[in-house]
Structure 1
Amino acid sequence: MNDKHDTGRNTMSDNAPLVSTTDQEVLPQLGSAREVSPHTRMYELLYSSLVSRLLITAAELGIADHLVDGERDVEDLAQRTESHGPSLYRALRALASVGVFTEVRPRVFGLTPLAETLRSDSEGSMRDLARYVGLPERQAAFAALTHSVRTGKPSFDHVHGTDWWSYFQAHPELAALFNGAMGNMAKMVNGATLDAVDLSDVRHLVDVGGGRGYLVSKLLERYPEMTAVVYDLPRVVPEAEQVLREAGVADRARAEGGNFLEWVPEGGDLYVLSWTIHDWNDDDTVRILSNIRRSMTDDSRLIIIDEVPPAGDAPHFGKFEDIVMLSLLRGHIRTREEFLPLFEKAGLRLREVRSTSAPTSVIVVVPA
């Protein structure tokens, strides 16, 4: 899996979706605790994007960080965050009503499990992710979603006059925030994926588009007999090497630079593509899969970590992630059935699709 910790177009990341899981695309069930009329529910849905905006504001101000040592009066928080006290109270009161922060006494707030995820130092912190979700450039693309629905083309390009990857390459300060956000997501999905599969028989793994190498680091910690290659764009290699060193696994892993649209390292008995395929259109996806197939032996396996939404009305985050792809990129979230012809064209065959505790599934693919 990859952490998308690079802004190059074919960088993948340690299980990190290109976009976030705390976005206005996912609507909170504000009316779920009571019976409401369709009109009331629609009213709540139309205004639910305010929850996302409030979360972004709390993350930008670092509210959760100031509550690590215990509850605080809103005026104290306002002073610490250089905010307007009465306005901050109104924001925190609204967030507390959906379980983010709690008003333990009048105008005094504390952390909740949801609020803990916005701490900078918490395990699996999502603060950078929340700040990334709030990027004005990203939000402007969603505001122009009607363009994408009418034309089938990314509204990001329409609004900004360039594509997503080119824009980030030209704005390194935004790329840094993006990288941090995808690191947040990587940790959550890595754990869920590791718990869903047994890789004790794998001797050499190639993480295709492996970003900074967080997934490989976790895998090598869990499987002491395994060796691995983190394969991504050349400019990502130094960062991956540092992560591998800090994890104490550099003696069993190396970072290698290249372009997976052109070739993929040979020698793996397991290849991994994590939360990346959905960034690409069908033609490029077949190209990537074909390059992997050429490097596989007949006994190799490929694991794809991605969202696989069910058919019909069943809820699934991937159905909203797909709207993010529509707005920002040219790929899309694929169902099981949509994967099958792509595998066939690349000389591969689906073995199974396994759910995890995260929004992702583990797709096991073998040579045809």
Structure 2
Amino acid sequence: MATSPHRPTGEPRDLTAHLMDLAMGHLFSAALRTAVHHRIADHLAEGPRTVEQLAGTTGTHAPHLRRVLRCLATRGVFREDAAGAYQLTPAAQQLRTDAPDSLCAAVLMATDQLFLRTSAAMPEAVARGGASFEWIFGAPLFEHLLSDPAARRLFDDGMASVSARVDEAVAAACAFPANGTVVDVGGGRGGLLRAALRRHPQLTGVLFDQAPPLADHLLGGDELKGRWRTQEGDFFESVPEGGDVYVLKHVLHDWPDEPCRRILRSCHRAMAAGSRLLVVDSVLPPGNAPHFGKTMDVAMMAVLDGQERTAEEFAALLSAAGFRLTRTLPTSAFPSIVEAVAE
């Protein structure tokens, strides 16, 4: 009878297997990508199916598909029942293309060669400093995306996918005013602004970003008609004036400290004294406890030379740009809300 590779305390019993499992983690990512590519979750939406049935409807090789699904089931993505059929788990539900919180586009983005090659070059990034993405592709990420429409679409679709649930969680946790104007700085397609305007019918909003994401914004329809506008620009230079609340969601983690200070100073110049700034990013806890932000921190280092930050690091960054950190609010998703006041 096989024994568990982990001791009751959580310490691995077989350190070799544990470390090799970590070293081969890219294979799990590839299995996840394979399941999304062949829309396995879509084919399980109506109930369990055998691998042979799945292979028949997806045009895949049944023995290989079985091995991929068996691997994914070890981590709670799909589950094999006693009859040998596979079924959806809560995690696998998010791999359905028709799920409201579908992560299909996010998985395809995260497992694309664009980022796999960047991660593989991490030893060089650590040796030299800076982002390995720029050495591989010849330009920083956002500059590269402007010159590669397919990569831009992949990135924008992926970010919109991972943001959907986060946007609702942040809108629910933020203390938006009953009325006034929210300026979403670097807001992408506007998922967070849409969620905020839906929750607060008297609010108006400005979605501020570059042209490509604005072209596919999510603010259309009668529900929000007349309550928003888009504005194209560069947040390093200036941001729209006249807002009551300014939001930076997943913006500061893209950059080292000095560019962040430039962004924050742009916001400060546009804001009246006492106006609020909401920074939505992971806030790293101390110690060795797992936290998704610690994984994202390494990704930001390799891709953008950015970083996730602790509460103390946010306080110092904000203070240097004329803000005072007032509180940090958790959300039901992985990021927190760092609230600051313009002084």
TM-score where L is the length of structure 2: 0.92
Of the three residues 303, 307, 320, the one matched with 1:345 is 320
The aligned residue for residue 124 of structure 1 is 101
The aligned residue for residue 220 of structure 1 is 197
Please tell me whether residue 255 in structure 1 is matched to residue 230 in structure 2: yes
Q: CA deviation at 1:129?
A: 0.8
Task: Provide Cα deviations, 1:208-231, integer angstroms capped at 9, x if missing partner.
Answer: 112112211111111011111111
Whole-Å separation in 2 of the counterparts to 1:287 and 1:300: 18
Q: CA deviation at 1:309?
A: 0.2
Q: CA deviation at 1:107?
A: 4.0
Whole-Å separation in 1 of the counterparts to 2:303 and 2:164: 23
Whole-Å separation in 2 of the counterparts to 1:32 and 1:177: 41
Q: Secondary structure at the match of 1:358?
A: coil
Q: Secondary structure at the match of 1:99?
A: coil
Select between 214-223 and 47-56 the one with higher mean Cα deviation.
Answer: 47-56
What RMSD over aligned residues (CA atoms) do the two structures have, in Å?
1.9
1:121–1:31 CA distance, 2 compared to 1 (3 A)? farther
Whole-Å separation in 2 of the counterparts to 1:316 and 1:98: 17
1:32–1:321 CA distance, 2 compared to 1 (3 A)? farther
The aligned residue for residue 307 of structure 2 is 332
Alignment of 1:20-39 (within 5 A): 31=6, 36-37=12-13, 39=15
Whole-Å separation in 2 of the counterparts to 1:52 and 1:32: 26
Whole-Å separation in 2 of the counterparts to 1:137 and 1:234: 22
Q: CA deviation at 1:142?
A: 0.8
Q: Which runs of 4+ in 1 moved over 3 A?
A: 30-36, 234-238
Task: Provide Cα deviations, 1:117-168, integer angstroms capped at 9, x if missing partner.
Answer: 1000112100111111111121011111101111112112222333222332
Task: Provide Cα deviations, 1:68-88, integer angstroms capped at 9, x if missing partner.
Answer: 122222122112222111110
Select between 226-235 and 84-93 the one with higher mean Cα deviation.
Answer: 226-235
Please tell me whether residue 264 in structure 1 is matched to residue 267 in structure 2: no
For the 8 Å contact 1:89–1:107, the answer to whether it is kept is: no
Q: CA deviation at 1:234?
A: 3.4
Alignment of 1:120-269 (within 5 A): 120-240=97-217, 243-246=218-221, 248-269=223-244
Whole-Å separation in 1 of the counterparts to 2:113 and 2:215: 30
Q: Give the AA of the match of 1:37.
A: R
For the 8 Å contact 1:147–1:153, the answer to whether it is kept is: no
Q: CA deviation at 1:267?
A: 0.9
1:194–1:247 CA distance, 2 compared to 1 (3 A)? farther
Q: CA deviation at 1:36?
A: 3.4
For the 8 Å contact 2:156–2:213, the answer to whether it is kept is: no
Q: CA deviation at 1:169?
A: 2.5
Q: Number of residue pairs matched?
A: 337
Q: Secondary structure at the match of 1:210?
A: coil
For the 8 Å contact 1:260–1:291, the answer to whether it is kept is: yes
Q: CA deviation at 1:105?
A: 4.3
The aligned residue for residue 48 of structure 2 is 71
Whole-Å separation in 2 of the counterparts to 1:151 and 1:247: 52
1:56–1:191 CA distance, 2 compared to 1 (3 A)? same
For the 8 Å contact 1:270–1:303, the answer to whether it is kept is: yes
TM-score where L is the length of structure 1: 0.86
Q: Give the AA of the match of 1:206.
A: V
Whole-Å separation in 2 of the counterparts to 1:171 and 1:80: 34
Whole-Å separation in 2 of the counterparts to 1:226 and 1:35: 51
The aligned residue for residue 16 of structure 1 is none
For the 8 Å contact 2:168–2:192, the answer to whether it is kept is: no
Q: Secondary structure at the match of 2:145?
A: helix
1:312–1:262 CA distance, 2 compared to 1 (3 A)? same
Identity %: 37
1:234–1:203 CA distance, 2 compared to 1 (3 A)? same
Q: Secondary structure at the match of 1:260?
A: coil
Q: Give the AA of the match of 2:143.
A: S
Q: Secondary structure at the match of 2:277?
A: strand
Please tell me whether residue 288 in structure 1 is matched to residue 263 in structure 2: yes
Task: Provide Cα deviations, 1:309-334, integer angstroms capped at 9, x if missing partner.
Answer: 01232322111111111111122111
Select between 48-57 and 82-91 the one with higher mean Cα deviation.
Answer: 48-57
Of the three residues 65, 69, 92, the one matched with 1:92 is 69
Whole-Å separation in 2 of the counterparts to 1:218 and 1:298: 26
Please tell me whether residue 51 in structure 1 is matched to residue 31 in structure 2: no
Task: Provide Cα deviations, 1:228-286, integer angstroms capped at 9, x if missing partner.
Answer: 1111123443322xx22236213111111111111111111111110110111211111
Q: Secondary structure at the match of 1:228?
A: strand
Q: Secondary structure at the match of 1:53?
A: helix
Whole-Å separation in 2 of the counterparts to 1:254 and 1:184: 22
1:296–1:122 CA distance, 2 compared to 1 (3 A)? same
Of the three residues 326, 334, 337, the one matched with 1:359 is 334
Whole-Å separation in 2 of the counterparts to 1:122 and 1:32: 37
Structure 2 unaligned segments of length 5 or more: list them. none
The aligned residue for residue 18 of structure 2 is 41
Task: Provide Cα deviations, 1:173-222, integer angstroms capped at 9, x if missing partner.
Answer: 22212211111111111121122223244411111112112211111111
Whole-Å separation in 2 of the counterparts to 1:185 and 1:91: 23
Select between 298-307 and 162-171 the one with higher mean Cα deviation.
Answer: 162-171
For the 8 Å contact 1:202–1:270, the answer to whether it is kept is: no
Q: CA deviation at 1:361?
A: 0.7
Q: Secondary structure at the match of 1:334?
A: coil
